[in-house]
Amino acid sequence: MNSPTAAISLTQIAALADLCPEYFARHADSLPPTHPVHTGSRGRPQKAFDIDDLAALIVARTGHLSEAVVRLRLALAMGASVRIVQVNDKHVLVRDDEDLQDLDPAVAQAVLDQIHEHNELIDRRRTRRHPATEESQP
């Protein structure tokens, strides 16, 4: 007798992890396999992880850690720098520790553009505060 298995969709796990769903696609080889879940709505079924597979992964990666260590790592990870860039009328969250070559080319270019704009702004502010002065020669 087959019983239904609890699952969590890729969109749900991405929201819980505060990551974009594309992150999981890029790291699919280190995650449990996904399976389609039909929601009754039109279109493609959602990709989902089996809850038991996901729980086994979590235990395998963190089972040796104490609750205090897990909480500390979570707190430190939550402080990780992120950028929000706009690509094709969509906002994309990109962590600073993600490799640009792993990103969609349009997203990578938007990140680079944002970094250059930020650096130019800092340079303009620095120049305004400390204008170049000519040294007087005796």
118-133 pLDDT, tens digit each: 888 888 877 776 666 5
The DSSP line for 6-47 is -EEEHHHHHHHHT--HHHHHHTGGGSPPEEEE--SSSSSPEE
Q: What is the pLDDT of residues 58-105, one digit of tens each?
A: 899 888 888 888 878 777 766 667 788 888 878 887 877 788 888 889
| pLDDT the model gives residue 52 | 92
| pLDDT the model gives residue 119 | 87
3 state DSSP class of 31: coil
Q: What is the pLDDT of residues 107-117, one digit of tens each?
A: 999 999 988 98
Look up the pTM and report it: 0.49
Backbone angles phi, psi at 41, to 5 degrees: -95, 165
DSSP 40: S
| pLDDT the model gives residue 2 | 46
Rounded Cα distance, 51 and 11, in Å:
14
| pLDDT the model gives residue 109 | 94
Rounded Cα distance, 99 and 13, in Å:
21
- Interacting residues of 101 by C-beta distance below 8 A, sequence separation 6+: 108
